[in-house]
Each structure stands twice: as C-alpha cells, then as structure tokens.
C-alpha cells in the first residue's frame, strides 16, 4: 500500500479591498446577482460571476424547482451561459457568494460536486485554469484553479477505449 498526499492551497483575505480591482468587481457582480436568485424553497440564494478572456462578465444565480433535481446552481448557470454566448472565450475567473436569512454567509461557500466537475471540464476544454474566488460576508478565499477543488476529477481520458 502507498499513501498519497494531495494538497490544496487556499488563500484567505480578511477583506475584499485586499484584492485587485477586477476581482473586487467580479465579487460585486456576484453579490448583486444574488438578488435575482430563484430560491423559494431553500431561501439559500447564490450568485456567481465569471470573467471571460474577452473582458465580458457573465452573472448567474441558482434556480430552484419544486422537483429539486431539476434546478441548477449559480455557477453552472453562469458557466453554461458564458459558454453558450461566447463559445470561444475561456473563463479566467469565477466569483461565488451566497446569502440566506438576508445575510451573506461566513465563511464563503464552495461549489457543489456537480459544479466542480463542470468547472474542471471547462478548464480542460479551454486549456486554461479558472481562478476560483469564494466571497463570504467579510473574508474571501481564493484557489488557483478548479483542479484544486476536485483533484481526483473524472475527464475524457477515462472514456478512451
């Protein structure tokens, strides 16, 4: 038997003001998007914003459904819309934030497993890492790429025969 260690580095900032202006703006867009979330069942509103290599910013929100599996997370809404509208533009950065009970959460909320897989596929598709920005009420956590969220990911190599 061999034990293998997998390390993920997370950079934590005590304030959004410590970040570069483009990342502050991306968080602002994600926090504004929370207001458009459709979450009548959970009251857990999530906003996401992606920055594309063409300079465009696309926002997304979680969209619930009474049949729970039929809804979508904010991250996937933003990524799928960005890939649909700008199919040749890589996603450089993704900011995510969540609010419940009228308050943004602290600590920040990471993407679910399905969103992690979609982010990995998008990194692979464009051969470019996506910087992950997780914005809480005050603190911000940043990961260098989606691979950091899902180190043992499933990809197209498993589909080769």
Whether the CA torsion 103, 104, 109, 115 is positive or negative: it is positive
Q: Is 108 helix (H, G, I), strand (E, B) or coil?
A: coil
Report whether 136 contacts 104 (CB < 8 A). Answer: yes
φ/ψ (deg, to 5) at 141 = -115, 135
Let me know if 56 is a catalytic residue: no
Per the document, the length of the chain is 161
* Alpha-carbon dihedral angle through residues 116, 81, 94, 140, given to the nearest 10 degrees: -90
Report whether 95 contacts 48 (CB < 8 A). Answer: yes
Q: Choosing from 5, 17, 32, 75, which is the catalytic residue?
A: 75
Residue 145 to residue 95: CA distance in whole angstroms:
12
Catalytic residue numbers?
75
């Amino acid at each position: 038997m061999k034990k293998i260690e997998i390390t993920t580095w997370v950079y934590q900032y005590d304030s959004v003001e410590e970040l570069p202006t483009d990342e502050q703006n991306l968080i602002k867009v994600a926090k504004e998007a929370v207001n458009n979330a459709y979450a009548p069942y959970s009251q857990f509103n999530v906003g996401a914003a992606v920055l594309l290599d063409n300079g465009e910013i696309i926002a997304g929100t979680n969209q619930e459904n009474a049949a729970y599996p039929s809804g979508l997370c904010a991250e996937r809404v933003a990524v799928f819309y960005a890939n649909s509208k700008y199919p040749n533009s890589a996603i450089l950065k993704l900011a995510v934030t969540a609010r419940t009970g009228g308050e943004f959460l602290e600590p920040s909320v990471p993407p679910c497993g399905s969103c992690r897989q979609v982010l990995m596929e998008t990194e692979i598709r464009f051969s470019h890492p996506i910087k992950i920005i997780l914005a809480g009420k005050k603190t911000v956590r940043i990961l260098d790429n989606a691979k950091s969220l899902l180190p043992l990911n499933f990809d197209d190599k498993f589909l080769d025969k």
